[in-house]
Chain A
Amino acid sequence: MKKRIEDLTVTQNRRLGEGFFVINASSSQGLPDILPGQFVQVLVTDSPATFLRRPLSVHDVDMSTGTISLLVQIAGAGTERLSRLNPGEKINIIYPLGNSFTLPLKGERVLLVGGGCGMAPLLYLGRKIREAGIEPAFALGFRNRSRILDHDELTKLGEVFLATEDGSEGYRGFVTDLPQFRDKDWDRVYCCGPEPMMKAVAAACLRRGIFCEVSLENLMACGIGVCLCCIVPTTSGNLCSCTDGPVFNIRDLKWQISG
């Protein structure tokens, strides 16, 4: 798939929760094919403290309007600047980057697990899974009620199970404690979120022999496989998260987890 550098036009910037935004931006020439799990590198302008582009997961894609959605968590000056983008402003992005999730086969039971900003790639993945004729379920974990992100779009695609660490909404505990995660025989689990959460999900899946892919959010400079900064130790050596990932099968990762 050919990568592009392109100026997109911001069409909407919507607050999703405390410190979280969804930016919609459209391409005047139409979008290239984008796979679920891929990401973009966004140039941040008018932010003197920001030197590098910011890698952001593709949250959603609407081919009919040529619109891509990016979920942004304010983590520093660069993402803070992005959160203040207004409709009509241009953003320069390099895309589509990285590999993608492996789509499930007909009849498989599929769970998409996310926490916080890790919800970012799950919407588009869920949409693609739904298009393939499978109804996905979602398990979302948040610290507490006030940190829950708007997930109406996910609800349209499949059942959503919520867990909060303090029990202020949904099940009390981590996503891995959810009965719907623990007790059901899932064929595939896809996960994106904070590393401790992904490792807990990966350990449970390894133990139960469930196919599991995770999407990593490593620090990176270039996003196109030349700086070698975003490496991930795998059974095939150090691989670039930006070109060999960001999606990895947990069996290929050298995570210190036991099944």
Chain B
Amino acid sequence: MADLRIKIGTLEFRNPVMTASGTFGYGSEFDDFFDVSALGGIIVKGTTLESREGNPYPRMAETPAGMLNSVGLQNKGIDYFEKNIYPRIRQYDTHIIVNVNGNTVEDYTELSRRLNALDAIPAIELNISCPNVKKGGMIFGTNPAAAREVIAAVRQAYSRTLIVKLSPNVTDITEFARISEGEGADSVSLINTLVGMAIDVRAMKPRLAAITGGLSGPAIRPVALRMVWQAAKAVSIPVIGMGGIMNADDALEFIMAGATAVQVGTASFIEPLAALDVVKGIDSSLDSRGFASVSDVTGIINR
């Protein structure tokens, strides 16, 4: 048993494997398959102040080694989360982290303040990178001044561990990683989905009702890995890597590039046990090669 513990800010995780927002519901959807407390953390579905219906159907298109989605942050809002979901998931013996979204800086800060009051939520992931909403989302994650403003405001409003989720739809990812660090974030997570589209040639129509969507799955992994490697070299706060991780070796690529932790996303759609298998696989891989802890290989290619 290798030592898999890692730290993000002051928060200790039992292992470096979390589930990506929007791919694991609230965790309880996986109760039939395994004990989700075995994971390092669960980033729950993107949450907003108000209830949202999201984008029209169709919202999904399968693409080579991946998929596009244009869900558009469908969720029942923070009131519903507090009343109906939080009491049910707070007993999980793992870190439940809420992915925070809004249209305006005020939305983000108000939601962060509400979450600050929930003692079983030890961290938030500030989503400034959702590509599927017209207002807010990626606008904050692709404009340096807007990013600086929203991160600074949320940092004021939120006292626990703050993770900023970055968009890959930028020219220089390191700029946004540095802004996050400069404004007091404890960590950055990347990458969110890449904006893409697909057309049904026979019907001569876009395959998504919203026309464009976010691309995820192994198709994006080399791009994600490159960005995580760049970000990890640019900042000294921990980087959480994600993008097309399907198994333990994929996760170790990110860790060796400099990620302190990883998130498993789209893989859970195909294999509900994927995140658990990544935990076990990292452990056995480290064991078999004689590494005592995961930190022994973190950023090993940069040394």
Contacts and interface: CB of A to CB of B under 8 A. Distances in A.
Contacts of A52: 62, 67, 269-270
Contacts of B65: 51
A43 B271 CA distance: 9
A3 interface: yes
B118 interface: no
Contacts of A227: 22-23, 60, 69, 71, 269
B290 interface: no
Interface string B19-57: 000111100011011000000000001000000011001
Given A51-B217, A224-B29, A227-B60, A237 B269 contact: no
Nearest to A224: B29
B39 to A, nearest CB: 14
Contacts of A53: 269-270
Given A5-B273, A53-B270, A226 B74 contact: no
B54 A231 contact: yes
Contacts of B266: 221
Nearest to A220: B60
Given A227-B60, A228-B74, A3 B67 contact: no
Contacts of A224: 25, 29-30, 272
A25 to B, nearest CB: 19
Contact of B269 (A4, A5, A222): A222
Nearest to B273: A5
Contacts of B268: 222, 226
Interface in A1-26: 2-5
Size class of the A contact interface (CB-based, 8 Å): 20 to 34
Nearest to B61: A219
Interface string A227-248: 1111111000110000000000
The secondary-structure label for the interface of chain A is loop
B87 interface: no
B69 A229 contact: yes
Interface string B84-112: 00000000000000000000000000000
A218 B25 contact: no
B29 A229 contact: no
A5 B273 CA distance: 9
Given A3-B32, A52-B270, A226-B268, A231 B57 contact: yes
Contact of A228 (B64, B71, B272): B71
Contacts of A230: 57, 60
Contact of A225 (B25, B57, B270): B25
B269 A238 contact: no
A240 to B, nearest CB: 10
A45 B30 CA distance: 23
Given A51-B270, A219-B58, A226 B23 contact: yes
A94 interface: yes
Contact of B57 (A43, A51, A226, A232): A232
Contact of B24 (A221, A226, A232, A237): A226
A221 B64 contact: no
Given A51-B66, A51-B217, A226 B53 contact: no
A220 to B, nearest CB: 7
A162 to B, nearest CB: 29
B143 interface: no
Contacts of A4: 32
A116 B126 CA distance: 47
B60 A219 contact: yes
A194 to B, nearest CB: 14
The 5 closest A-B pairs by CB, nearest first: A229-B60, A226-B25, A222-B269, A3-B32, A221-B269
